[in-house]
C-alpha cells in the first residue's frame, strides 16, 4: 500500500516547481541574498493579505515573539500570561526578556481558557500572549475586553493560524502585535526558517524593525543595541510565490478536516476537534483525543499511515519549568490530555481516498 505521510512538502513543491525554481534562480542572479526587493515585497504582500498596516519580516517565529515583547518594554519583574498548551516559543520568549511566564489551562478548544485569566492578573502582569493553536481562534472577545480593562498588551501567536478568521477578521489583527512563523511545515512555510511580526501601529513597527536590524533603521545609525533577525532573500522569494496559493491551500485543509469530521463522527473512542463559534479554523493540525493512543498510532504506522503527537507534554509538565514549582492540578485539561492526543495527516494535497483510508483504519482498530 502507498504510504500516507503526515505532511508532504515535496509533493507541494512539485505543484509550483517552475515558479519556485525561477524565484531561487532570480535571487541568485540578483545576489539579493540579504534584504532586497523580494523581502520588502513579501512584507507588503503579507500585510495586504491580512489587511493590516505593517509587516516586519524576521528570522523565525520565535524571534518575532521575543522582539515584540522586548519592544513593548516587557522585562525583569514583569509577568506575562500565556497558554499551558503550546510550542515552547510562546513561553520561552517571555523568560528571555527576563519576565515570568504565567501559565493558564486550556478550554475545550485547546486554546487558553479565557475564564481563568482574570484570577491570574497581578500588579506585575504586562501582557497576555494568546496562541491560536492548531489554527483555532482563541476567545478573542473575552480576552480583548480583559486587556482593555486591565491595560494589558495583547500579543497573538499566529504561528499555526495563517488566515484563521474570527468574526470575519483574520487573527493577528486583534492585538497590539502578532507573531507569525513560516517554518517549512507551517500553513505558509518557507524552505528554511522565517517569521514575521504584524501590527497596525507605525510607531511599534519602527521599533520592531529597528530592534531586529541591530537597533538601526538607517545603516550605521544605531539608536540602541538590537539583535540580528532577518528574513533572507531566497526565503522571501519562495514565500511570495507560496502566498498566492495560501487561500486555496487553506480551503483545502478545511475540506480535509470536514471529511475527517464526517467520517469519524460516530467513533466513540475519539473526541474530534471542535470549532469555536464565529471562527474559520485554518486546520494547521487535525488533533483528536483518543483511547489507546500509542497502540492506535502503532497500528496506523503498520498500515503505512504516519501520525504525530502535538505535544507529548504540556508546557507545565516540561523539565524546563520545574523551577516554577507549578501546581499540576491547575492544568487538568492541558496535562490530562497528554496521553490521548494524536495528530492525523493533514495537508492541502491529501486526497479523499487517503483521508477515507485513514478513517477506515482508525475504525478497524477500535472494532
Ligand X SMILES: *Cc1c(COP(=O)(O)O)cnc(C)c1O
How far, in Å, CA of 141 to CA of 38, rounded? 36
Of the listed pieces 30-38, 82-90, 166-174, 273-281, which binds ligand X according to CB under 6 A?
Answer: 82-90
CB of 39 to ligand X, least distance (A): 16
- The string of DSSP codes covering 49-86 is HHT-SEEEEES-TTHHHHHHHHHTT--TT-EEEEESSS
Q: Does 160 bind ligand X (CB under 6 A)?
A: yes
**Minimum CB–partner distance for residue 89 and ligand X (Å):** 3
> If you compute the radius of gyration of the chain from its CA atoms, what whole number of angstroms results?
21
Near ligand X by CB under 6 A, which window of 85-93, 143-151, 209-217, 220-228? 85-93
List the one residue from 27, 32, 69, 86 that touches ligand X (CB under 6 A). Answer: 86
Residue placing its CB nearer to ligand X in the complex, 62 or 307? 62
Place of cell 516559543: 89
Nearest residue (CB) to ligand X, 191 versus 366: 191
- Is there a contact between 100 and 80 (Cβ–Cβ < 8 Å)? yes
Angle between helices 63-71 and 202-212 (to 10 degrees): 120
For residue 181, state whether it binds ligand X (rule: CB under 6 A). Answer: yes
Strand order in the sheet with 169-170: 169-170, 165-166, 279-280
Under rule CB under 6 A, how many of the chain's residues touch ligand X?
15
| Minimal CB distance residue for ligand X | 61
Nearest alpha-carbon partner for 129 in 169, 167, 166, 79: 79
What residues numbered 192-231 form the site for ligand X, per CB under 6 A? 193, 195
Region binding ligand X by CB under 6 A among candidate stretches 8-16, 87-95, 144-152, 349-357: 87-95
Contact between 69 and ligand X by CB under 6 A: the answer reads: no
Provide the minimum distance between the beta carbon of 151 and ligand X in the complex, in angstroms, as a whole number: 25
Residue 41 CA from chain centroid, whole number:
22
CA distance 273 to 285: 10
Closer residue to ligand X, CB minimum distance, 89 or 343 = 89
Rounded least distance, CB 91 to ligand X, Å = 10
CB 109 within 8 Å of CB 274: yes
Q: Is 299 helix (H, G, I), strand (E, B) or coil?
A: helix
Give the footprint of ligand X on residues 92-111 (CB under 6 A): none
Q: Would you say 86 or 307 has its CB closer to ligand X?
A: 86
Cis previous bond, 165, omega within 30: no
1-60: contacts with ligand X (CB under 6 A): 60
Considering only 159, 163, 199, 236, the residue that binds ligand X (CB under 6 A) is 159
Please identify which residue in 7, 54, 61, 362 interacts with ligand X, judged by CB under 6 A: 61
Pairing of strands 195-199, 54-58: antiparallel
- Residues lying near ligand X in the complex (CB under 6 A): 60-62, 86-87, 89-90, 131, 157, 159-160, 181, 183, 193, 195
Amino acid at each position: 500500500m502507498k504510504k500516507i505521510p503526515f505532511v508532504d512538502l515535496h509533493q507541494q513543491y512539485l505543484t509550483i516547481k517552475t515558479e519556485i525554481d525561477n524565484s531561487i534562480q532570480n535571487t541568485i542572479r540578483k545576489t539579493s541574498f540579504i534584504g532586497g526587493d523580494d523581502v520588502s515585497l513579501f512584507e507588503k504582500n503579507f500585510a495586504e493579505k491580512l489587511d493590516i498596516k505593517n509587516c516586519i519580516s524576521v528570522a523565525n517565529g520565535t524571534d518575532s515573539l521575543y522582539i515584540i515583547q522586548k519592544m513593548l518594554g516587557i522585562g525583569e519583574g514583569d509577568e506575562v500570561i500565556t497558554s499551558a498548551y503550546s510550542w515552547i516559543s510562546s513561553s520561552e520568549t517571555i523568560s528571555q526578556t527576563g519576565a515570568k511566564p504565567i501559565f493558564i489551562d486550556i478550554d475545550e478548544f485547546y486554546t487558553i481558557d479565557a475564564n481563568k485569566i482574570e484570577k491570574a492578573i497581578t500588579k506585575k502582569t504586562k501582557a497576555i500572549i494568546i496562541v491560536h493553536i492548531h489554527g483555532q481562534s482563541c476567545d478573542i472577545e473575552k480576552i480583548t475586553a480583559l486587556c482593555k480593562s486591565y491595560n494589558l498588551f495583547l500579543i497573538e501567536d499566529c504561528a499555526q493560524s495563517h488566515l484563521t478568521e474570527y468574526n470575519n477578521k483574520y487573527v493577528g489583527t486583534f492585538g497590539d502585535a502578532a507573531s507569525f512563523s513560516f517554518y517549512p511545515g507551517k500553513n505558509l512555510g518557507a524552505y528554511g526558517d522565517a517569521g514575521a511580526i504584524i501590527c497596525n501601529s507605525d510607531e511599534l513597527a519602527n521599533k520592531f524593525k529597528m530592534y531586529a536590524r541591530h537597533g538601526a533603521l538607517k545603516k550605521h545609525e544605531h539608536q540602541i543595541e538590537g539583535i540580528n533577525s532577518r528574513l533572507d532573500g531566497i526565503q522571501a522569494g519562495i514565500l511570495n510565490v507560496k502566498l498566492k496559493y495560501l487561500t486555496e491551500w487553506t480551503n483545502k485543509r478545511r475540506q480535509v478536516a470536514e471529511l475527517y469530521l464526517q467520517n469519524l463522527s460516530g467513533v466513540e473512542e475519539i473526541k474530534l476537534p471542535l470549532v469555536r463559534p464565529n471562527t474559520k479554523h485554518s486546520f494547521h493540525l487535525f488533533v483528536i483525543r483518543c483511547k489507546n493512543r500509542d497502540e492506535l498510532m502503532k497500528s496506523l504506522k503498520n498500515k503505512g499511515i504516519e501520525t504525530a503527537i502535538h505535544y507529548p507534554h504540556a508546557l507545565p509538565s516540561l523539565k524546563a519549568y520545574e523551577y516554577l514549582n507549578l501546581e499540576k492540578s491547575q492544568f487538568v485539561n492541558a496535562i490530562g490530555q497528554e496521553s490521548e492526543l494524536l495528530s492525523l495527516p493533514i495537508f492541502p494535497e491529501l486526497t479523499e481516498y487517503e483521508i477515507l483510508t485513514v478513517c477506515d483504519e482508525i475504525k478497524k482498530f477500535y472494532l
